[in-house]
A = this chain, B = another copy of it.
Amino acid sequence: MTAPRGFVAAGVHCGLKAEKLDLAIIASTAAEPATVAGVFTRNQVQAAPVLYCREVAASGRARAIVANSGNANACTGESGLADTWAMAACAGAALEIDSEHVLVASTGVIGVPLPMPTVLAGIDQAAAELGADGGERAAEAILTTDTRTKIEAETVELAGGEVTIGGVAKGAGMMAPDMATTLAFVTTDAAVAPAALDQALRRAVEPTFNSITVDGDTSTNDSILVLANGAAGVEAASAKDLERFTDALERLMGRLAVALVADGEGANRVIEIRVGGARTNAAARQVATTIANSPLVKTAYRTGQPNWGRVMGAIGRSGVDIVEQRIAIAVSTPEERVEVVRGGLGVTEDLEPLGRAMLAAHSVLHVDLGLGSGGWTVWTCDLSEGYIQINASYIS
């Protein structure tokens, strides 16, 4: 996320985790505060940094993000809020900026107070290490059960010139399509007004972060924050430029979101569920989400069990009115397309090609409800023993 001009970052190990990097700062170096937009978890149990960031995001202006992993600062009450304020104050002092312009994000175990001396020392250290080359370490410092960093960049040509958008995100469990899943930070050197940035983010989040699921469990800390510092000297203000900018933001967030699914807890593969032929987009989304959260469907993809009855079962219980006899199902990979169900009935008794296609690193499950023109796509991953092992041993 230091690809856009005028952003620096750092990631350090302060001691919230045993060995790994656990504290990050991302900051704009522009003279004026960047504009900011944020979307946050819809879970009614909300972590202190989420409550705090809502206010900063509402102000429309910020200069930096400080984020820690290893502790969510959730279910920590008034003292948790005070700790978030202290993190912002510490970062403000270290960066010599107004602490009201510091966003705070936390992820990790719920219900445990932050060890503040450790965190504050980490903030000082990270502030001292900020640089244009710190993006990779910052991306690493926000990970929890993720096995790799997720970093993306996108450039887009506006009327006034080229602007760049950069982003990082972390998963890897407690992920579901009900708002900004987990943490993601996006930076851009475009100049975008607060209201326009907010609108762009809200449009881009629906088909991306709000359309992925690992386990259907939403977190108390989900946040996506976007900072636009204008360092490119190019403004996204006209309707056409905002459209281009939002499209680019959506492409970037889409890649980050699919990267989160690919690195979902215990995941071996990405399953892209494209539901079409629904009466409305909302109905298609509901069917796709039900399939994507079905433990039976997800487990079938673990080993390529060609068990399409589980998909039919999930469609039937989605709560959307369907006509069994109109359902068509197919699975495709870059190499082949396998027709599975037509008119609600199995196309063939030879299920070997279906099983093979299900084992692709990224396969598409096509569901046609045959009722209308509504459609939606949701991404998920398989459910494996790895998910159990991670969550039976990890305090998250």
How would residues 279 to 304 of chain A score, 1 for a CB under 8 Å from any chain B CB and 0 otherwise? 00000000000000111100110110
Contacts of A316 in B (CB 8 A): 43-46, 218, 220
How would residues 354 to 396 of chain A score, 1 for a CB under 8 Å from any chain B CB and 0 otherwise? 0000000000000000000000000000011101110111111
Do A388 and B391 form a contact, CB below 8 Å, given A45-B315, A75-B346, A317-B42? Answer: no
Do A295 and B395 form a contact, CB below 8 Å, given A220-B312, A349-B112? Answer: no
Contacts of A176 in B (CB 8 A): 317
Contacts of A302 in B (CB 8 A): 388, 391-392
B303 & A393 in contact (Cβ 8 Å cutoff)? yes
A346 & B391 in contact (Cβ 8 Å cutoff)? no
**Bound form: Cα–Cα A217–B312 in Å:** 11
Least CB distance from A200 to B in Å reads: 26
Does A162 make an interface contact (CB < 8 A)? no
How would residues 298 to 341 of chain A score, 1 for a CB under 8 Å from any chain B CB and 0 otherwise? 01101101011110111111000110110000000000000001
Contacts of A218 in B (CB 8 A): 313, 316-317
**Bound form: Cα–Cα A179–B296 in Å:** 18
Least CB distance from A352 to B in Å reads: 13
Does A344 make an interface contact (CB < 8 A)? yes
A215 & B45 in contact (Cβ 8 Å cutoff)? no
Does A174 make an interface contact (CB < 8 A)? yes
**Bound form: Cα–Cα A72–B76 in Å:** 49
Does A345 make an interface contact (CB < 8 A)? yes
**Can you list 17 contacts pairing A with B, beta carbon distance less than 8 Å?**
A44-B317, A74-B309, A75-B312, A77-B345, A109-B307, A111-B312, A215-B295, A217-B310, A218-B316, A295-B391, A296-B391, A299-B392, A302-B391, A302-B392, A303-B393, A305-B395, A384-B388
The 5 A-B pairs with the shortest beta carbon distances in the complex, nearest first, are A110-B309, A45-B316, A299-B391, A43-B316, A303-B392
Query: Given known contacts A112-B349, A217-B294, A220-B316, what 18 new A-B pairs fall within 8 Å (CB)?
Result: A43-B313, A44-B317, A44-B322, A45-B324, A77-B344, A111-B345, A176-B317, A220-B309, A295-B383, A296-B391, A299-B392, A300-B391, A302-B388, A303-B393, A305-B394, A305-B395, A383-B388, A385-B388
